[in-house]
């Protein structure tokens, strides 16, 4: 049964193994302070649910999201905004792989939400932007840092300083997205295919790979390699690795248990 709260629905599929977080707040899916709070709460539920192996964030309507509730920021005290990026970007802290399905606008905090996820799949018509400069502001939920790490400092500076939109093709070419789909129908099909692949893998191995990638990329190369080596050694002792090797030898699909 779907759970609701704020402007986000939480639904499950694949016998509870896939959690769907669905933005549903009008045509533009504006992200309010309530949306931020509920996003963090939903991820707390998802992260504690051992059944869930994959998370998908998607949106109802014509656009993923046009961004935040601009007027609402003036109702919040500046001191209360110091932890702004800790709620809507909870996907970055989740140990589970998070996919974002994007169609239409993906602006402002909506792009910051997408940047905090692991895999971004979008339609050709999608447009991405951090337009805060037009309001005399800068992105405040990780946008400057995550965008620079994905598309390079020079491009990130240009798009943050000008607020200019990134096209679907540019997003694909620059590594902002992993797929660019012709339309919403192909987007859903592609997301389903990726979800199906991830469900066939060891939850423990995916959790470890996500952590190694996220932690390693922010440090020196030798630190990342050392982290990878130790994680590799740890997984060598797992049930899932033994099962994977056995299944390979017996030419059958593996039965991973996440341990």
Give percent above pLDDT 70 in the chain. Answer: 92
151 with 220, same domain?
no
At residue 258, the pLDDT reads 87
The more confident residue out of 7 and 230 is: 230
226 with 159, same domain?
no
SS3 6: coil
Q: What's the pLDDT tens digit per position in 12-23? A: 999 999 999 999
At residue 80, the pLDDT reads 62
123 with 242, same domain?
no
Q: What is the CATH number of the domain that holds 226?
A: 1.10.12
Structure pTM?
0.92
Closest CA to 161 of 132, 195, 123: 132
Among 71-85, 149-163, 168-182, name the one with the lowest average pLDDT.
71-85
Q: What is the CATH number of the domain that holds 99?
A: 3.90.226.10
- Identify the band that residue 7 occupies on the pLDDT scale cut at 50, 70 and 90: confident
39 with 161, same domain?
yes
Domain's final residue, options 156, 174, 199: 199
Q: What's the pLDDT tens digit per position in 244-253? A: 999 999 999 9
Q: How many domains does the chain have?
A: 2
Q: Regarding beta strands 18-23 and 54-59, do their DSSP bridges make them parallel or antiparallel, or are they unpaired?
A: parallel
Find the catalytic residue in 60, 75, 77, 112. 112
Q: Residue 258 falls within a domain, yes or no?
A: no
At residue 86, the pLDDT reads 78
Q: What's the pLDDT tens digit per position in 207-216? A: 999 999 999 9
Query: Known catalytic residue: 228?
Result: no
Residue 162 scores a pLDDT above 70? yes
Range of the domain at 160: 7-199
* Cβ neighbours of residue 18 closer than 8 Å, sequence gap 6 or more: 12, 52, 53, 54, 55, 56, 195, 199
Name residue, tokens 């899932």.
240
Q: Give the separation between CA 133 and CA 124, rounded to whole angstroms.
A: 25
48 with 111, same domain?
yes
Q: Give the separation between CA 177 and CA 122, rounded to whole angstroms.
A: 7
57 with 177, same domain?
yes
Q: Residue 102 falls within a domain, yes or no?
A: yes
At residue 3, the pLDDT reads 47
Q: Give the separation between CA 122 and CA 119, rounded to whole angstroms.
A: 10
Q: What share of the chain is helix, strand, coil (3-state, %, to 5)?
A: 50, 15, 35
177 with 159, same domain?
yes
- The conformation of residue 133, written as its DSSP 8-state character, comes to G
225 with 153, same domain?
no
Domain's final residue, options 160, 183, 199: 199
At residue 1, the pLDDT reads 40
96 with 209, same domain?
no
Q: Residue 255 falls within a domain, yes or no?
A: no
Name residue, tokens 């504006």.
30
Q: Residue 151 falls within a domain, yes or no?
A: yes
Q: Give the separation between CA 241 and CA 136, rounded to whole angstroms.
A: 52
Q: Residue 259 falls within a domain, yes or no?
A: no
Q: Residue 50 falls within a domain, yes or no?
A: yes
Residue 77 scores a pLDDT above 70? no
87 with 172, same domain?
yes
The DSSP result for 11-67, as a single string, is EEETTTTEEEEEE-STTTT-B-HHHHHHHHHHHHHHHH-TT--EEEEEESSS-SB--
Query: Known catalytic residue: 132?
Result: yes
Are the C-beta atoms of 63 and 99 separated by less than 8 Å? Answer: no
Mean pLDDT of 163-190: 97
Find the catalytic residue in 132, 164, 211, 228. 132
40 with 91, same domain?
yes
Residue 157 scores a pLDDT above 60? yes
CA distance readout (Å), 89 to 58, 85, 213: 14, 6, 17
85 with 26, same domain?
yes
């Amino acid at each position: 049964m779907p759970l609701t709260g704020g402007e986000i629905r939480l639904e499950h599929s694949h016998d509870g193994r896939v959690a769907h977080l669905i933005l549903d707040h009008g045509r533009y899916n504006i992200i309010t302070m309530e949306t931020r709070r509920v996003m963090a709460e939903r991820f707390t539920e998802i992260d504690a649910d051992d059944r869930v192996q994959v998370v998908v964030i998607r949106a109802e309507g014509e656009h993923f999201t046009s961004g935040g509730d601009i007027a609402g920021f003036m109702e919040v005290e500046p001191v209360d905004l110091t932890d702004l990026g800790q709620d809507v970007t909870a996907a970055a802290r989740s140990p589970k792989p998070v996919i974002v399905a994007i169609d239409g606008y993906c602006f402002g905090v909506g792009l910051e939400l997408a940047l905090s996820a692991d895999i971004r799949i979008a339609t050709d018509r999608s447009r991405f932007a951090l337009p805060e400069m037009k309001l005399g502001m800068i992105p405040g939920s990780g946008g400057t840092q995550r965008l620079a790490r994905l598309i390079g400092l020079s491009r990130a500076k240009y798009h943050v300083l000008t607020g200019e939109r990134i096209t679907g093709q540019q997003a694909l070419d620059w590594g902002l997205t992993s797929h660019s789909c012709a339309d919403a129908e192909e987007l859903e099909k592609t997301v389903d295919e990726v979800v199906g692949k991830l469900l066939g893998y060891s939850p423990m191995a995916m959790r470890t790979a996500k952590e190694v990638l996220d932690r390693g990329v922010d440090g020196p190369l030798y630190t990342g390699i050392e982290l990878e080596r130790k994680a590799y050694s740890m997984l060598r002792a797992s049930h899932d690795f033994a099962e994977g090797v056995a299944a390979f030898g017996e030419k059958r699909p593996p039965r991973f248990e996440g341990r």
